[in-house]
Amino acid sequence: MASAFKSLLFVPGDRPDRFDKAAASGADAIIIDLEDAVLPDAKSQARTAALDWMQKSAARARAGVRINSPRTAHGCADIAALSELARAPAFVMVPKAETGVDAEIVAEALGGASLIGVVESPRGLSNAFEIATRCSGGLLFGGADYAASLGADLSDWDAMLLARNTLAVAAAGAGVSAYDVPYLAVDDQNGLRAWTARAKALGFSGRSCIHPTQVAVVNEVFTPTASEIQNARDVIDAFHRADGGAVLHKGRLLDRPVITAAERTLAKAPT
């Protein structure tokens, strides 16, 4: 699986005064949003501000941009502007991804840029496996729009469980990362921690954030603890001592899936 972000912080594209602050928040990546966070009459200004900052800032290596849907005029303008950049963003987030073709068009126009597809509709969910194969950067659960399309409650974990499971499986099948929808109750740190832990348990690699105060909690949940890291090392050591043969470790048979899980834990360990 490609390297994953733990936390991705959205920042409105029409607020360039916040770009540097977002980059200094501790988030693994920032997403300059040209879509939902920007009113229609401010799209052009936001696009110019975002792309200008990306060409000048040292933080551009971990900064991406969420364009408007490639099915819209604003999205086409975003793609055209990105295609002329001397330095591409770290990734391009494609909202309203309905089929793999949506991502394919953007990838071809931008020379194979790393894409994160946002799945936020029943049609998109039905094509999640196809979309995942076209998005080397992973999939993001666009939960707010998805819930609205169903008339469901985003804050009801069970109501959103099928969508989350499907995206996690689709991403894993394609060897890419799955990212959860932002937790909308900005002041509820306990809820954020609990729901992030649930998403991690489903196989999500990280989650998006809408406020800098959410970043530390998300990073904490998706960072292995010292005991988890030590256990993973012990598992790998025991497996190597057995020369790849079957071995019991703390009463548990070490087979390939257990080794793979340990390797993933170590890959996420702080350096």
Q: What is the sign of the dihedral through the CA atoms of 68, 72, 74 and 78?
A: positive
Do 112 and 157 lie in one domain? The reply is: yes
Note down the domain range covering 256.
226-265
Q: Which stretch of 2-6, 69-73, 145-149, 247-251 has the lowest confidence by average pLDDT?
A: 247-251
Which residue shows structure tokens 């960072």? 223
Total domains in the chain come to 2
pLDDT attached to residue 261: 76
Structural domain contains residue 271: no
What tens digit of pLDDT does each residue of 237-269 get? 877 777 766 677 776 777 777 777 777 777 777
DSSP labels, 194-216: HHHHHHHHHT--EEEESSGGGHH
Q: What's 198's domain CATH number?
A: 3.20.20.60
Residue 43 and residue 164 in one domain:
yes
How far does the chain reach from its first CA to its final CA, in angstroms? 19
User: Average pLDDT of 16-45?
Assistant: 96
CA dihedral 158, 66, 148, 102 (to 10 degrees): -100
Same domain, 105 and 157: yes
Evaluate if residue 112 carries a pLDDT over 80: no
- Write out pLDDT tens, residues 67-99: 999 999 999 999 999 999 888 899 999 999 999
Shared-domain flag, residues 15 and 30: yes
